[in-house]
Structure 1
Amino acid sequence: MGSVKKKTKNKGTLSRFFRFVLWICFAGILVAVLCGCVYTLYLTKLVEDRFSGRRWSVPSTVYSDSTVLYAGRGIDRGSFIEKLRRLGYRKSEDKRLVRGQWRNRSRSIDVFLHDLEVPWKKRKGFPVKIRIRDGKIAGIAHMKTGDALAVIELEPEEIMQFFGKERERRDLISIKNVPEHLVQAVLAAEDARFFSHLGFDPAGLARAFYTNLKHGEIRQGGSTLTQQLAKNYFLTPERTMRRKINELFISIAIEMKYEKKEILEIYLNEIYLGRKGAVSVNGIGEAADFYFDKKVEELTPAESAVLAGMIKGPNIYTPYGDGIKCRKRRDLVLGIMLKKGWISKKEHKGAVNSPVRPTPYRSYRKKAPYFMDYVASQLNEFYPSAVLSSMGYSIYTTVDTDVQAAAEKALRKGLERLEKQNSALKRRNPEKRLQGAVVVMQPRTGNILAMVGGRDYSVSQFNRALQAKRQPGSCFKPFVAAAALETFKPSDFFSNRKKTYKINGEEWTPKNFGRISGDKLSMRDLLKMSCNIAAVDLASRTGLSKVVSLAEKFRFTTPFREYPSIALGAFEVVPLELAAAYCAFAADGIQPYPLSLKNVVDEKGHSLVRKHVDIDSVISPEKAFLITSMLESVVNTGTARSLSKMGITFPVAGKTGTTNNYRDAWFIGYTPDFLALVWVGFDDGNSIFVTGGSSALPIWADLVKSMPGYISGNGFTIPPGVVKRRICKQSGELASRRRCPETYDEYFLETNRPLSECRVHKSSGFFRRLFNKGRSVFGNDI
């Protein structure tokens, strides 16, 4: 009996113990659940805060100017096709032409234009036929309607992005634009049960737990698509159990707050899919462009399977790597899609039999680096770098990528040619090598089409076009002539006899570079032959104060002094400022401010910054034409006459320049359509042993021959207020009929034209004297 009581007592004690343990377990579970709920709610708020704001830092993108095509514009077929490729156009492989494709024909290039959406224009793409004959566009027609088109516009070209520390490229897409087969491919590769689970997949977790337990370490994640998003967006990449638990709770929080399609859209914009040089490719939109040169909506099922298969290991399954691995992974994804019934057997067969054809590899490289530094300095006046690297602005500039590439190539080849011709110019130290700068502008707008600040940006980021201060040499003589035109005429003579001037108590005697015969030269001839002695005489007789006063109107930021040596450019100028000043001669006396930035637009298309053409009238159209006419003589028969042998046969005005001891060499040449400046020299001021005509001029010629779109062949228009007269070369006066042995046509201001007939070869007789007297009274109109 006592034994039974003892057993009953023991059972009661054990029962109470088990109840206590159960209660402790229940309380622990309850606390854990409550803590989990609180933690989940906390994470839900965290997720909501992160996702409700700006989800990604999207770098701002800088674009070139658009390309306008019209009948009569010069065009190089090869360069144009290369431009189409850079803009993402693909060569058509069959007779059918679809959006974004081109086809090369014997007499034309057919292009199905992309949609155009820029601040100044919006239009849908359509197919055009561009007929080409003799290096020019013969006509443009709409391929569907047959209508002739006066003008078409190609979209701007991307030239740079402002990256933050992450250096990620991301082209955000909307789930509405993602084709169903792409969604299915991603689900097949990563999470086939995505639309049925609640953020985590118990079966997948069980498989991962077994694998990890078997190997004693974290080897398999079993992560759902939502868990991958949680890991990539909120957590570090470490493979620990703690991170896995956080990943699970964050996934639940995401699923509680957002719809499946929204989660999928965020995931597709977040995933890492390889590298483009030093920049990572993030998001399916960026990957579609990088690997296949397509928008997501244009991807085929096979291409979608390639991208989906890469998510597991972008560097392993990249189409640029092991083609066999990439194809096997793609076929695996397509097999799952077939098994799930997402594609038919016919679609599956066609997809697995198609080759993997990525677009040619394109590493990210900042184009036009010196120009972009100039643009960036202007943008920093409006926005800090943190804004530019995160807000996804679209920035439109004036640069023409074809002209920019031609300028870079011409300068590089020209400097190498000079070094080959003269070994004394070679330097072992890359930082001390022979340098150069190129600026190309549109004279009437000030648009900078190209800017090259040195031969190699990776070696030296010093922008010689913008930051260097160099003596212009004889390139300043046109400004002296412009000041003189108020008093003198192009036919007036100036002394070529050696003369000594006193400057601050010291004697200075100008010398010519080479032998220039004759005791006197006309204004036209002294510019044509670049005569130093006569140029100083011209400046002195005009008045040094007048020369300085006029030069200051051209907005040079460097100071001028009233010394006779100003006529020879014995002071420093900034190359970009010199190019802008010469624009006035090409544009009827109107000088534009250099323009590089046109528009800044936010992600919604709202214009934030808009730059307009800004101009000043610095000299009269009549004087600008006279300077241009005299500078045409420089090209036709003067120091730049070798241009014709270099293939430049259209009207050009220009001026060579060489400074003392050959430290600087220049050529500035222009037409009504463009102006280009070339400078060559050493940064430390050492001699280059050659003139501007032998160094800068050939670079200018190489550049210009590579920009046919800006060569119209048109000459310069004579403005009202300019008259032409026949002049005696010996006297500089009106030529006497049949008496003056050498004559030429000269232009004059109507208000300052010659009135006297040649007195060297004057005729005799009463009626001739009467005629001359009448002409002196009534002018040349009688």
Structure 2
Amino acid sequence: MSSLLFAPFRWFKRHFWKLVTVFIVLSVSYLIYIDAQVKHHFAGHKWEVPAQIYARPLRLSLKQEISIEEIQDELKLLGYRQVATADDVGEYSIGKDILSIYRRAFQYGALTAPERRLKIDWQGLRISQIALLDDNQNARSVLLEPWLISRLVGGLSEDRMLMQDSDIPDMLKIALIEVEDKNFYKHHGVAPLAILRALFANISAGRTVQGGSTLTQQLVKNLYLSRERSYVRKLREAAMALVIDARYSKDEILNAYINEVFLGQNGKVAVHGFGLASHFYFNKPLQELELVEIATLVGMVKGPSFYHPKRQKDRSLERRNLVLRILFDEQYLSASEYQSAIAKPLVTSSSPSLASGQHPAFMDKVRDELFSVVPDSSERLAGVKVFTTLDVNAQLRAENALISTLEQKSQARNLPNIEGAMVVSDISSGEIRAIVGGKRAQFAGFNRALNGYRQIGSLMKPVVYLAALENAYEFNLATRLADEPVEYDDKEGKKWQPQNADKSFRGEVSLLDAIVNSYNVPSVNLANLVGFDEVAATLQRLGYEKAVKPLPSLALGAVELSPLEVNQIYQVISNQGELRPLHALSSVTTADNQLIWEREAVSQQRADIDASYLLNFALHQVTKKGTARALGEQFGRVNMAGKTGTTDDYRDSWFAGFDRNLVTSVWVGHDDNTPVNMSGATGALPVFMAFQAQNSPKSLVRAFPETLSIAHFDVASGQHMLAGCPNIMSVPAITDGLSDAQGCAELERNPPKAPKKERNFFERLFGW
């Protein structure tokens, strides 16, 4: 019996070294397997990182008309701090006509910009000097860094902003180690004594009250393992921690942990790493965090939800002060530094740049262009930096203008389903500054700015007038146009009789009056004289890329465009006939700033410069005494130009307008194409005016071409006259296209013929 009891023991003793050998072989094999996993993942891309989307950098130039307040708006957006004297990076101060900025270093495409202390002086409304204080030199222009708008997380459930070791504050590393793993630099990935202490504490308490995991084990758990609680998982965690500690330096492990640790939730997307958390909670780069902000984030590691600094402020403050106390006890803080820190309130900042789906209408355009230039999704999820043309302040103002105006119209006119869209672009570059796809501007959905195609009504008329004015020998602003009943063959050979909005006729009107007052019949008659096919071709020359049927109704806007397409047409009109393709993307770099793609400047002269100037003059008159005169009345000395548009039965309300720098297109209507019962002047124009009221518009200035002159024309006949004659209109005209000027006496000898009167039915029947 006793021999049977000792049989297993004797078997174990006899095979002990074999078992040890097998155990060692299996352990080594497992560690080799673990090492292969760790090496593949740790040495390669540890994380999928979403594309980082940046706004345009603000350029400040000598003689630029821009206010200190406009730059201050940008600085606040970038998280700069206003102080008495700007001595540290990320600070600015304001004096009388002076702005001092300690600009951050940044990368913009292929440009590497260092930290700089700037002093900007004003004389009147314009910048008079830009001083680079570190170099004791002056500059003609400088850039502020681009603002981080958003991050294209796509289908990812987590987000992070990777930080290099040099970008991580020493105090953050110290605080993490002192609070989370005091023996980090002494152990080899696991701390057996700490595990035993935690085990006994948890057994005594009957629940988990203490953890024994090192920072390395926490990193393993986050990078490689599931959240299940089991001894097998803990053993695997320990093995992987040992391998990582053996293969990589402590600094590499700490850097990986700082980039990986979970620190909260941004909607459905998890916030990982201190780099992203710094922007999310404090709206500033990690390098610029104050001591108390570092302590707040370190305190959150234990429980991001439990110690959330916005939702659980008291708990977070208590935890922050505990971290500060540990740093004081370990002599990393002096008594005065500690007392000063714990006396500070817990202050966080909202970070709209990290809100998922922020400015979704603009992001739709960014995605379209990004997927075209970087089609590989894995490359897009390698942390690429995407530099866009967005002006965030202009975007916010456009959103506010559209939303507030539509809300007002909805209540005043009982239009609960009224909708709108808006596009703002830079005239000289074609860079899109803002896109609003609907009145729910913060929610992704149908993007009316890009995909809402509606007839444009009278927005088409400037295309007709441009086509005419390009023929300077036949047409000028004083050319007389017939305003009488007329009939044309239109679609499918049907008869079409255009009417003016007021249902009346004036016999004849000047070309300038026709566009200023948006008369329909003279516009169609002019299109007939120019040729409907030429009008269609001109529309395409101005950037419309689809086929156009050259029908008479085209002259009154019987063609469907999106607000983006309208904006492209008016970009050319406002830019002296030069087309700059509208775009939202400037450049794309890798996560480590290697250039992947950069937009090349492309421009084409699509319309005659002189004719474009004359059209701009006419569109300016529209805002002074025409259908958009409310604009001139509100803004007084600030000159702008534009055109209202209204479609049949008041289904669509349009306005396209521009100041010196920006061209804006606005549509207001119903998605189901039912009448909105507003003209362009009462629907879309107020949106434009609300936008400009917030946006500090710059007065429209265009150089007067040498090939133009101020000419004088008889009001009744449109004949070119010498200066000083009675009843003349004085307007700019293309000099080469002018006939010889007549004297006043010559006009008296040869008075203009009265316009031919349209005969009625009985006069035509009896030959009267």
Same fold (TM over 0.5): yes
Cα distance in 2 for residues equivalent to 1:116 and 1:611: 19
1:307 equivalent in structure 2: 297
Cα distance in 2 for residues equivalent to 1:725 and 1:210: 99
Post-superposition shift, 1:96? 5.7
Instruction: Say yes or no: does 1:692 pair with 2:664.
Output: no
2:427 equivalent in structure 1: 443
Which range moved further: 496-505 or 517-526?
Answer: 496-505
Q: In structure 2, do the counterparts of structure 1 residues 359 and 573 end up closer, same or farther at CA, with 3 Å as the change threshold? A: closer
1:36 equivalent in structure 2: 27
Instruction: Say yes or no: does 1:325 pair with 2:315.
Output: yes
Counterpart contact for 2:62–2:129, Cα < 8 Å: yes
Post-superposition shift, 1:515? 5.7
Cα distance in 2 for residues equivalent to 1:413 and 1:17: 86
2:281 equivalent in structure 1: 291
**Counterpart mapping for 1:722-733 below 5 A:** 722-733=708-719
Post-superposition shift, 1:522? 1.3
1:46 equivalent in structure 2: 37
Letter paired with 1:178 = I
2:532 equivalent in structure 1: 544
**Counterpart mapping for 1:237-252 below 5 A:** 237-252=227-242
From 568, 580, 596, give the equivalent of 2:556.
568
Cα distance in 2 for residues equivalent to 1:18 and 1:499: 116
1:762 equivalent in structure 2: 747
Letter paired with 1:502 = D
Unaligned runs of 5+ in 2: 751-768
Counterpart contact for 2:374–2:380, Cα < 8 Å: no
Counterpart contact for 2:406–2:419, Cα < 8 Å: yes
Counterpart contact for 1:498–1:509, Cα < 8 Å: yes
**Counterpart mapping for 1:165-204 below 5 A:** 165-204=155-194
1:753 equivalent in structure 2: 738
Instruction: Say yes or no: does 1:705 pair with 2:699.
Output: no
TM-score (norm 2): 0.90
Cα distance in 2 for residues equivalent to 1:276 and 1:648: 45
Q: In structure 2, do the counterparts of structure 1 residues 216 and 116 end up closer, same or farther at CA, with 3 Å as the change threshold? A: closer
1:594 equivalent in structure 2: 582
Instruction: Say yes or no: does 1:719 pair with 2:710.
Output: no
Post-superposition shift, 1:437? 1.7
Counterpart contact for 1:453–1:466, Cα < 8 Å: yes
Q: In structure 2, do the counterparts of structure 1 residues 203 and 744 end up closer, same or farther at CA, with 3 Å as the change threshold? A: same
Q: In structure 2, do the counterparts of structure 1 residues 492 and 41 end up closer, same or farther at CA, with 3 Å as the change threshold? A: same
Unaligned runs of 5+ in 1: 1-9, 428-432, 766-782
Cα distance in 2 for residues equivalent to 1:384 and 1:714: 40
2:460 equivalent in structure 1: 476
TM-score (norm 1): 0.88
Instruction: Say yes or no: does 1:500 pair with 2:487.
Output: yes
Post-superposition shift, 1:602? 0.8
Q: In structure 2, do the counterparts of structure 1 residues 293 and 715 end up closer, same or farther at CA, with 3 Å as the change threshold? A: closer
Q: In structure 2, do the counterparts of structure 1 residues 181 and 543 end up closer, same or farther at CA, with 3 Å as the change threshold? A: closer
Which range moved further: 595-604 or 649-658?
Answer: 649-658
Alignment deviations for residues 36-81 of structure 1 (CA, whole Å, 9 cap, x no partner): 2221221112111111211111111111111112354444555543
Post-superposition shift, 1:121? 3.1
**Counterpart mapping for 1:9-408 below 5 A:** 18-23=9-14, 28-75=19-66, 77-92=68-83, 95=85, 97-105=87-95, 107-131=97-121, 137=127, 139-142=129-132, 148-214=138-204, 220-345=210-335, 347-360=337-350, 364-384=355-375, 386-387=377-378, 389-408=380-399
Q: In structure 2, do the counterparts of structure 1 residues 28 and 660 end up closer, same or farther at CA, with 3 Å as the change threshold? A: same
Q: In structure 2, do the counterparts of structure 1 residues 337 and 577 end up closer, same or farther at CA, with 3 Å as the change threshold? A: closer
2:720 equivalent in structure 1: 734
Cα distance in 1 for residues equivalent to 2:337 and 2:20: 51
Q: How many residues align?
A: 746
From 487, 506, 516, give the equivalent of 1:528.
516
Post-superposition shift, 1:217? 5.8
Counterpart contact for 2:489–2:496, Cα < 8 Å: yes
Counterpart contact for 1:446–1:613, Cα < 8 Å: no
Post-superposition shift, 1:496? 0.9
Counterpart contact for 1:595–1:613, Cα < 8 Å: no
SS in 1 for 2:747: coil
Q: In structure 2, do the counterparts of structure 1 residues 528 and 754 end up closer, same or farther at CA, with 3 Å as the change threshold? A: farther
Cα distance in 1 for residues equivalent to 2:9 and 2:722: 134
Post-superposition shift, 1:103? 2.6
Post-superposition shift, 1:28? 4.4
Post-superposition shift, 1:107? 4.2
SS in 2 for 1:128: strand
Larger radius of gyration: 1
Instruction: Say yes or no: does 1:434 pair with 2:424.
Output: no
From 624, 642, 646, give the equivalent of 1:658.
646
Which range moved further: 72-81 or 586-595?
Answer: 72-81
Counterpart contact for 2:542–2:607, Cα < 8 Å: no
Cα distance in 1 for residues equivalent to 2:429 and 2:167: 40
2:478 equivalent in structure 1: 491
Post-superposition shift, 1:630? 2.1
Alignment deviations for residues 220-255 of structure 1 (CA, whole Å, 9 cap, x no partner): 431111111111111011122221111111111112
Cα distance in 1 for residues equivalent to 2:166 and 2:591: 18
Alignment deviations for residues 496-532 of structure 1 (CA, whole Å, 9 cap, x no partner): 1112223344322111112666310111111111111
Cα distance in 2 for residues equivalent to 1:350 and 1:164: 43
Instruction: Say yes or no: does 1:462 pair with 2:434.
Output: no
Q: In structure 2, do the counterparts of structure 1 residues 534 and 323 end up closer, same or farther at CA, with 3 Å as the change threshold? A: closer
Alignment deviations for residues 86-132 of structure 1 (CA, whole Å, 9 cap, x no partner): 2121232x546311012344544432111132125333222333445
Alignment deviations for residues 11-36 of structure 1 (CA, whole Å, 9 cap, x no partner): 99988875444445665455334322
Cα distance in 2 for residues equivalent to 1:412 and 1:17: 83
Supply the RMSD in Å over aligned alpha carbons.
Answer: 2.9
1:775 equivalent in structure 2: none
Alignment deviations for residues 118-173 of structure 1 (CA, whole Å, 9 cap, x no partner): 12533322233344576654654445677554322111111221114444332222
Instruction: Say yes or no: does 1:419 pair with 2:406.
Output: no
SS in 2 for 1:380: helix
Cα distance in 2 for residues equivalent to 1:41 and 1:414: 66
Which range moved further: 279-288 or 725-734?
Answer: 279-288
Q: In structure 2, do the counterparts of structure 1 residues 459 and 113 end up closer, same or farther at CA, with 3 Å as the change threshold? A: closer
Q: In structure 2, do the counterparts of structure 1 residues 508 and 15 end up closer, same or farther at CA, with 3 Å as the change threshold? A: closer
Q: In structure 2, do the counterparts of structure 1 residues 559 and 36 end up closer, same or farther at CA, with 3 Å as the change threshold? A: same
Cα distance in 2 for residues equivalent to 1:459 and 1:290: 20
Alignment deviations for residues 452-478 of structure 1 (CA, whole Å, 9 cap, x no partner): 222214666222222122111111112
**Counterpart mapping for 1:667-686 below 5 A:** 667-686=655-674
Which range moved further: 652-661 or 140-149?
Answer: 140-149
Which range moved further: 528-537 or 412-421?
Answer: 412-421
Cα distance in 2 for residues equivalent to 1:469 and 1:177: 48
Q: In structure 2, do the counterparts of structure 1 residues 694 and 36 end up closer, same or farther at CA, with 3 Å as the change threshold? A: same
Post-superposition shift, 1:600? 0.7
How high is the sequence identity, in percent, across the aligned residues?
29
